[in-house]
Chain A
């Protein structure tokens, strides 16, 4: 069974940093593009970042470009999101998501349960 488990969320002050983790199991992470998608509680979904299967290509939403860094360690079946210079508007549940086989231009077939990031003083 495919599973994605996020961790690393929590309360952080504006301007602070946080690193999110996503552990994959039941499949080989190295075969898939992966995304981070976030959702303000009660609101819609917002794509944050994506990384190709070997980590050589990354892409970001304008809202996080220059502040967030996506990476992966395929040997550990783990995806990361380093978040720096956090703002109140980054407060959301962050989901790790697997893209169906192929490139980035496919659907998301698996989602983690999400980890809540709260940016507040």
Chain B
């Protein structure tokens, strides 16, 4: 089971945001992060806990291993309004966190 926190956060532009994802058992570094904007399909931001995907802005970063993981967004921009999901593929069944919705004030 993957548990994200918070479920919802209202933030102002230029703020730093931290989203956490906790696994119920160790998953090593097999944890990925996605961004889903309203009406769109999810987009892969970070793979294997900390590897940024090409084209993803440098303000997005990931860290962690074992059971505790973090997605950090430095200097938030208005376009970052979205839901963010963590995903573990260390073992079957594949699972996602419940999601964190970011609202930009």
Check A107 for interface membership: any CB of B closer than 8 A. yes
Q: Which of chain B's residues have a CB closer than 8 A to the CB of A95?
A: 41-42
The one of B36, B89, B91 that contacts A107, using a Cβ cutoff of 8 Å: B89
Min CB gap A67→B, angstroms: 15
Query: With contacts A107-B44, A107-B47, A109-B44 known, is A45 near B85, CB below 8 A?
Result: yes
Check A82 for interface membership: any CB of B closer than 8 A. no
Of listed A35, A46, A106, A108, residue having the most chain B CB within 10 A:
A108
Question: For the side of the interface on A, what is the size category?
Answer: 20 to 34
Q: Which of chain A's residues have a CB closer than 8 A to the CB of B42?
A: 45, 95, 108, 111
Check A12 for interface membership: any CB of B closer than 8 A. no
The complex places the Cα of A108 from the Cα of B30 at a distance, in Å, of: 12
The complex places the Cα of A54 from the Cα of B97 at a distance, in Å, of: 29
Check A113 for interface membership: any CB of B closer than 8 A. yes
Q: Which of chain B's residues have a CB closer than 8 A to the CB of A1?
A: none
Check B96 for interface membership: any CB of A closer than 8 A. yes
Point out residues on A near B: beta carbons under 8 Å.
35, 44-47, 50, 59, 61-62, 95, 99-100, 104-109, 111-114
Pick 27 A–B contacts, CB within 8 A, sort by A.
A44-B96, A44-B97, A44-B98, A45-B87, A45-B96, A46-B96, A47-B95, A47-B96, A50-B92, A100-B47, A104-B89, A104-B92, A105-B30, A105-B91, A106-B89, A107-B44, A107-B89, A108-B32, A108-B34, A108-B44, A108-B87, A109-B47, A109-B53, A111-B42, A112-B41, A113-B41, A114-B41
